[in-house]
Amino acid sequence: MNDFTYYNPTKIEFGKGKEKNIGKYIKDSGYESVLLVYGTGSIKKSSLYDDTIASLKEAGLKYEELSGIVSNPLISKVRDGIKIAKDNKLQAVLGVGGGSVADSVKAIAAGAKYDGDVWDFFIQKAVIKEALPVFTVMTLAATASEMNGNAVITNELTQQKFSIGTVLVNPVLSVINPELMATVSKDYLAYSAVDAIAHTIEVYFTATEHPKFNSRLVEAIIKTIMETTEILIKDPNDYEARGDFAWAATQALNGLTTSGTHGGNFPNHMIEHTLSALYNVPHGAGLSIVIPAWMKWYKEQNTAQFERFAKEIFGLSTADEGINELESWFSKIGSPVTLDQAGISKDDIDKMAENAVQTSKLWGLEENYNEQTIKDILHKA
């Protein structure tokens, strides 16, 4: 077990109807005004938008709104949100939606306390020193953005999808009500399952030190996600399965699975963000394309852990069997596993590698993942 500091300042309010208290939660945290941020319409199809407004009003909060956050969220919208927050001197930001909304509010929170352009943080030209307090009500479980300090945003002009990560934008409080997630489409349910699994296996396979507890925790998360995804495909309203799925997805990237590990990194995410940046592929769909290819390319570097994965997850014995079974499962739930299935031509591999290597450099992975390596991996996809 490696030494570590574990600090996660996010309070989780989990359960039915908790979103109706969001105004009170914000008010009780000491704020009088808030920027409400949401996506392209799902919260208005349900009663969630009305419930949120009612809750803000009931708590006596002043609020402004920013709507239209898209999946693979854009820096232009973040800049709009920063302007509204600054112009109205708002004290907090609230995202109601999926990971794209949560990530956007985090970027807005940081940008609202900065005089320069918010993209500076993403290209590591500036460091986040302060941020407005962030609150979220999650309508989709996948990213764990509700309980971490990460945000991933696309700059549509430069076609770069880059990230920030700081505890300063960890939500103060997040509401997770599994009932709100029952309307997520089957496609996004599949992509979410892939994403949650991806968050755990990146470090599981790449760490040079991975304590047994962490391996077991990862395996529990993966099994839970796989089991509940299959239940939810058949019955989207199964509350128990939604709850298990959501809480497992939160644990997958809130710092717990990696505490005590050493040397792990996120190469699949590094490459996937390029697929989203260039082709607007949903994040989970991009991951199900990259992961099997990367596993085939990487497996000899950590055979023991790949064999463990095959045994613990699928009751199989070899690394190859485990990889093939995972790839088949991604296919079975409806997530693409080749570039071709996502409509991406292999003629674009050079262009993708050129784009991905930028993230590789920002994440300090260049030594193992240069343009050539990334091309080799993508050719397997």
Given Zn ion, ligand NZQ, none, residue 288, with its beta carbon under 5 to 8 Å by kind, binds none
DSSP 204-246: HHH-SB--HHHHHHHHHHHHHHHHHHHHHHH-TT-HHHHHHHH
Q: How far is the CB of 335 from ligand NZQ (least distance, A)?
A: 12
- Scan for tokens 């989709």, then name that residue: 140
Measured from the CB atom, is 144 or 352 closer to Zn ion?
A: 144
Measured from the CB atom, is 34 or 287 closer to ligand NZQ?
A: 287
Q: CA 300 → CA 296, 322, 365, distances in Å?
A: 9, 13, 19
CB within 8 Å of 142: residues ≥ 6 apart: 98, 99, 188, 191, 192, 193, 195, 196, 249, 283, 284
Spatial CA neighbour of 149 closest among 164, 130, 139, 133:
164
Measured from the CB atom, is 25 or 329 closer to Zn ion?
A: 329
CA separation for the pair 13, 17 (Å, rounded): 10
Q: How far is the CB of 37 from ligand NZQ (least distance, A)?
A: 10
Q: How far is the CB of 300 from ligand NZQ (least distance, A)?
A: 26
Given ligand NZQ, Zn ion, none, residue 188, with its beta carbon under 5 to 8 Å by kind, binds ligand NZQ
Measured from the CB atom, is 56 or 153 closer to Zn ion?
A: 153
Longest C-alpha distance within the chain, in Å? 60
Given Zn ion, ligand NZQ, none, residue 151, with its beta carbon under 5 to 8 Å by kind, binds ligand NZQ
Q: How far is the CB of 199 from Zn ion (least distance, A)?
A: 6
Given Zn ion, ligand NZQ, none, residue 98, with its beta carbon under 5 to 8 Å by kind, binds ligand NZQ
Given ligand NZQ, Zn ion, none, residue 349, with its beta carbon under 5 to 8 Å by kind, binds none
Spatial CA neighbour of 290 closest among 266, 318, 310, 312:
266
Measured from the CB atom, is 75 or 270 closer to Zn ion?
A: 270
CB within 8 Å of 308: residues ≥ 6 apart: 215
φ, ψ dihedrals at 40, nearest 5°: -100, 10
Given Zn ion, ligand NZQ, none, residue 263, with its beta carbon under 5 to 8 Å by kind, binds none
Given Zn ion, ligand NZQ, none, residue 52, with its beta carbon under 5 to 8 Å by kind, binds none
Q: CA 40 → CA 50, 70, 277, distances in Å?
A: 15, 6, 19
- 150-155 and 160-165: which strand pairing? antiparallel
For residue 56, how many other CB atoms are within 10 A of its CB? 21
Measured from the CB atom, is 295 or 310 closer to ligand NZQ?
A: 295
Which residues lie near Zn ion (CB under 5 A)? 195
Q: How far is the CB of 370 from ligand NZQ (least distance, A)?
A: 22
Measured from the CB atom, is 211 or 236 closer to ligand NZQ?
A: 236
Q: Sign of the C-alpha dihedral, residues 323, 324, 328, 331?
A: positive
Q: How far is the CB of 198 from ligand NZQ (least distance, A)?
A: 7
Two structure tokens written together for 128: 């986040």
Which residues lie near ligand NZQ (CB under 6 A)? 39-42, 71-73, 97-101, 103, 139-140, 142-145, 148, 150-152, 180-181, 183-184, 188, 192, 195, 253, 269, 276, 283
Q: How far is the CB of 104 from ligand NZQ (least distance, A)?
A: 9
Q: How far is the CB of 44 from ligand NZQ (least distance, A)?
A: 8
